[in-house]
Structure 1
Amino acid sequence: MRMQPFTVLATEGQARRGRITTAHGTIETPAFVPCATHGSIRGVPTDRLRPRRSLRPRSGPASASGESDITPGEIPRLELILSNIYHLMLRPGIEAIEALGGIHRFMGWERAIITDSGGFQAFVFAERTSSRSSKNEGGPAQLRQGFAGQPSLRMSEEGMTFRSHLDGSTHLLTPESVIEMQERIGVDIGTCLDVCTGFPVPEREVAQAVDQTNRWAERSIGHWSSVTGQLLLYGMVQGSIYEDQRRRSAEFIRALPFAGFAIGGNMYTFGATLAELAAQKPRMWEVVGYTASLLPEDKPRHLLGVGEPSDLIAGVKQGIDTFDCVMATRIARHGSAWVRTEPEGWAYRRENLRSAEFSRSTAPIDARCACLACRRRVPRGYLRHLLVEQDPVAAELLTLHNLTFLATLMAEIRSSLEVGTFTDRFGG
């Protein structure tokens, strides 16, 4: 019988203050999970991410200021990062990671690691391959056009056969192979193979995807039960925007003995503009709230692909425990930083430090921030210069800033839940 890894320490409304126990330490929740998709957080050495003080589980709640008392360069309570089996299996390969001592030694990261199964990535790259729309970016011409005219993704009861976006080689993901790969490299939290649909799609297609995901989930549980490692396996809840499909998925998945649950599925239009995304958010949160309410209260809930600061607050209100997203690091590489706009609260704006208006600014990004750049009061004018010169130091400093921004936000959310002031601080 596997140990129950999750403990709820406090609640306020649907929001939960919890703790996840893994083979590589505890994760205090709610928490943001940075994406090291290819095995690293782009542009940031691992030792910049590792806290310089003990993160042993505490016997009691921390003070409101305890989690923010950090040293320059340290990201407060960063305890879990996410990587991706799709990318790792293609390069450098599971065997290479094993030969290097497992994923923790490979990445130089001693704390917990969660991996996505890779099914979503296979789907996304197939979408890009099959579309010649100018909205699809992020890959070479052969990625969008396919390799020698061959289909890049084929679904079957056995699993998901896809063609690598790197060289066109053919690979098969099955429920069993995904778990085996996560076990072999020593992942702490794994996810099972699922079927992701596009958006928008007819409900009948979503229903078929839910059915296949459910059948694969049963096989995943069967294989996971046969291994003796310390992997915690999360079940995947799908269903797009359709309430009936979300309910069918959640009711089936929650009946299986998963260690936790991940809420996935596209609820946005591929290639949507920022304005279109903003218009679609209310519907997304309605779906997330409904889905979370169907999941067990004694197991952790992870929301895939959400990382805007305001969305983290909204997700916590819906009962989500952990979130992952590439946004913080991606916008940093393009020169943008989140900055708080009020002394005590969490109103914020996104500033483009490439703008000429900062060319002579001597101010740090945010005087209240504890990141390396802000603690050392690196001027915005200098950061703009580095960005214009395409110096990688700029991307590193802005990435550390944005990750610190989110980690500090989550630390304050946890503290407010511990003392019962979450609603007062972050709204109902």
Structure 2
Amino acid sequence: MAELFNFEMSAQDGKARTGVIHTPRGDIRTPAFMPVGTAATVKAMMPESVRATGADILLGNTYHLMLRPTAERIDRLGGLHKFMNWDRPILTDSGGFQVMSLAGLRKLTEQGVTFKSHIDGSKHELTPERSMEIQRLLGSDIVMCFDECPALPADRDRIAESMRLSMRWAERSRDAFGDRPGHALFGIQQGGLEKDFREESAAALTKVGFDGYAVGGLAVGEGQEAMFSCLDYAPDMLPMDKPRYLMGVGKPDDIVGAVARGIDMMDCVLPSRSGRTGQAFTRHGVVNIKNARHQDDPRPLDEGCSCPACRQYSRAYLHHVFRSNEMISGMLLTWHNLHYFQDIMAGMRESIAAGTFAAWQADFHETRARGDIEPL
């Protein structure tokens, strides 16, 4: 598989790394932010618009797609890339997290999880083998192991039990994944905020051997400080020469802090979800476009941004369409947010390559701390 899927690190500055993940469907520049296309669409965006923001890879969701329209149907229609008109790499998560957070009446055994669909109450079973089968039918480029993710806070016994189950499932996922040239399988480190469990998990995964490694079970309510203190050691436990993926993160300062601690890939629904609720992420912090202060403001959202929302529309217009519940509101704000997140990634890649990451980081925090422009 190495010749078809491999990670090439080109520079390191402190713990921050930049490089390229080579895949048959195209290169992924790291650090990479993956927009989330839960149900085979990044909400309010056309695939070509997502690409125009600078995204090299999207995330699709096993749980949602297996329920609707079903992986079998997507396979019959030519696979997920063709189905959603995205010809570049796609990573699919395993469905484990959504089963824990969304499904009703779930039952967890050594075999897997049986649950009721949040859509129509129908009964389903997800096991490591079934998760691998679904992700194969979808045709994703990067496949995630099936794991169990306990919500934090949880007691040590519960975290240990869950982590060890996930490690047994990781081995079954590897066996079920088989030999698929050009496709990669990532293992997921678990262990909550317990350093010894993270160590045990990393050792178990490394022994099995994966194409990349994720830090799982964070950004589940533990707070930024606890997350960062875990990231101070967790990525270092994983192989240096493979990509490291922090799942479900996050806000701009979470992303920058994670990269500073050695993370290469991230995903989050935040840019699109916030865009639909009138929140814009800018270099000067978060702007709530619904606030009345914007209604007569002819200035752009962020004068330093080159996205269509900033180049072609005023704050006054964005305020008006949000207040009027017009569809274009979510479209423009989502485009802006995704563009801004990709700008952050590009800035980090350049500064790591130039050996100026610390200065870039200081400037990033300083600019955000100054806050939004003064009202007119």
Length-normalised TM-score, structure 1: 0.82
Corresponding position of 1:41: 42
Distance 2:309 2:180 in 1: 44
1:265 paired to 2:217: yes
What SS does the corresponding residue of 1:114 show, helix, strand or coil? strand
Partner residue, 2:374: none
Q: How does 1:232-247 map to 2 (within 5 A)?
A: 232-247=184-199
Which residue in the other structure is 1:188 paired with?
A: 141
Offset at residue 349 of structure 1 (A): 1.0
Q: What is the distance in 1 between the residues matched to 2:314 and 2:358?
A: 35
Q: How does 1:137-148 map to 2 (within 5 A)?
A: none
Mapping for residues 10-409 of structure 1, pairs under 5 Å: 10-50=11-51, 74-76=52-54, 78-126=55-103, 129=104, 152-225=105-178, 227-266=179-218, 268-269=220-221, 280-340=223-283, 348-376=284-312, 378-409=313-344
How much has 1:267 moved relative to structure 2? Answer: 5.3
CA distance in 2, matches of 1:339, 1:208: 41
Alignment check: 8 A CA contact 1:207 1:239 kept: yes
Q: Any conservation in 2 of the 1:12–1:420 contact (CA below 8 Å)?
A: yes
Q: Return the alpha-carbon distance in structure 1 between the equivalents of residues 125 and 2 of structure 2.
A: 29
- Asked whether the equivalents of residues 35 and 57 of structure 2 are also in contact (C-alpha less than 8 Å), the reply is yes
Q: Is the Cα–Cα contact under 8 Å of residues 10 and 16 in structure 1 kept in the other structure? A: yes
Structure 1 counterpart SS, 2:234: helix
Tell me if 1:410 matches 2:345.
yes
8 Å CA contact 1:190, 1:231 repeated in 2: yes
State the match for 2:369 in structure 1.
Answer: none
**Structure 2 CA distance for partners of 1:327 and 1:290, relative to 1, 3 Å:** same
Contact 2:113/2:126 (<8 A) preserved: yes
Q: Which residue of 2 aligns with 1:149?
A: none
Shift of 1:228: 3.1
Would the aligned equivalents of 1:183 and 1:229 in 2 still touch at CA under 8 Å? no
* Cα distance in 2, alignment partners of residues 256 and 25 from structure 1: 27
**Partner Cα distance (1:198, 1:338) in 2:** 27
Give 4+ residue runs of structure 1 displaced > 6 Å after superposition: none
**Identity level (%):** 39
Contact 2:218 2:247 in 1 (8 A): no
Q: What is the CA-CA distance between 1:363 and the residue it aligns to? A: 0.5
Question: Secondary structure, in 3 states, of the residue corresponding to 2:131?
Answer: helix
Paired AA for residue 353 in structure 1: I
Which amino acid counterpart does residue 290 of structure 2 have in structure 1? R
3-state SS of the aligned residue for 1:208?
A: helix
Cα-Cα RMSD: 1.5
**Aligned-pair CA distance for 1:156:** 1.3
Deviation per residue, 1:131-188 (Å, 9 max, x gap): xxxxxxxxxxxxxxxxxxxxx1111121111111111111111111111211122100
Give the C-alpha shift of residue 252 in structure 1.
0.9
Q: Deviations over 1:207-260 (max 9, x none)?
A: 1111111111111111223x4353200001111111111111111112222100
2: CA distance, partners of 1:105 / 1:203: 44
SS in 2 for 1:255: helix
Query: Would you say the 8 A contact 1:240–1:267 is kept in 2?
Result: no
Tell me, yes or no, if the aligned pair for 2:62 and 2:92 is still in contact at 8 Å. yes
Displacement of 1:23 in angstroms is 2.1
Inter-partner Cα distance in structure 2 for 1:231 and 1:161: 27
Note if contact 2:117-2:124 (Cα within 8 Å) is conserved in structure 1.
yes
Of 330, 333, 355 in structure 2, the residue corresponding to residue 420 of structure 1 is: 355
User: Partner letter of residue 153 of structure 2?
Assistant: P
Could you tell me which amino acid in structure 2 is paired with residue 357 of structure 1? R
Q: What is the deviation of 1:425? A: 1.6
CA distance in 2, matches of 1:265, 1:36: 20
